[in-house]
A = this chain, B = another copy of it.
């Protein structure tokens, strides 16, 4: 049996010199306040065991990790029709590029670049009439706890300064690929990004991706097994900005990062893992977090490759 606790301790020891290194995302003013010294990690196995280290219980802004969960909702709502409005290919360009969108007539390359997540938010809005409360409830269902919430200050901060996302939303609208008012879609989007969760909560929320689409125990099915597989394949090929190849090469797990410094990764049929440390590398992924995951797959000998 895998000694996850020992492995987490070894990782913690080894990445410590990296914690505090890298850049804190400061383009969202509210995020710039966070201490760079934070590091937490939580492993949730499909057998129901939880292993943690460091600041694993501290809430942080999950930012783009939310794209995994909103995509999951959109797959529940739309099934494969989703793919007429969003592609499934790596973008080869920055996560907020408008170039790809122009060349490909308003179809975002995948659901994990910002343009794709805006379309996902639009879909949720169209189906459920609301894309804030419904997402909150979904997150609470995944985590099995009621206190998950948005950080309204972060959402507000991002809305006030996120001119590039506004450009993306209006650009999508100009191609007819948003059905709702761009301001409503942007409002939903920044709230999704502002979800405030701990490593423990994110790891628990993502366990259905390791568990063939189901929550643990008898807590029900989120998506079909093959849909969980599909989401994992998308995470691997598109989940870590323009460092997808590097992340697959070094970590070897499907994963999704956020500029808040969190990363959710999944080992199918085994575990989900969330790591958090605010300092980012040049690709916008957590510097210490990426290293921690790399050590994790090396030390456990578990990667999908």
Contacts and interface: CB of A to CB of B under 8 A. Distances in A.
Nearest to A90: B90
Interface in A224-240: 228-230, 232-234, 236-238
A250 to B, nearest CB: 9
Contact of A233 (B182, B230, B243, B248): B248
A243 B87 CA distance: 10
A89 interface: yes
A99 B90 contact: no
Contact of A237 (B163, B164, B169, B248): B248
A21 interface: no
A114 to B, nearest CB: 12
B233 A305 contact: yes
Contact of A97 (B102, B182, B229, B237): B102
Interface string A72-112: 00000000000000011111110001111111000001100
A245 interface: yes
Category for how many chain A residues contact B: 35 or more
Interface stretch (A136-144, A170-178, A215-223): A170-178
Given A170-B166, A268-B304, A246 B89 contact: yes
A246 B87 CA distance: 9
A305 B268 contact: yes
Q: Which of A99, A167, A304 gathers most chain B CB within 10 Å?
A: A167
Interface string A283-305: 00000000000000000000111
A279 interface: no
Interface of A: 87-93, 97-103, 109-110, 163-164, 166-171, 173-174, 182, 228-230, 232-234, 236-238, 242-246, 248-249, 252, 254, 268, 303-305
Closest 10 CB pairs of A and B: A92-B92, A90-B90, A163-B174, A167-B171, A167-B170, A164-B174, A233-B248, A166-B170, A232-B305, A88-B245
Given A97-B102, A164-B171, A304-B305, 4 more contacts: A98-B98, A167-B173, A236-B248, A268-B305
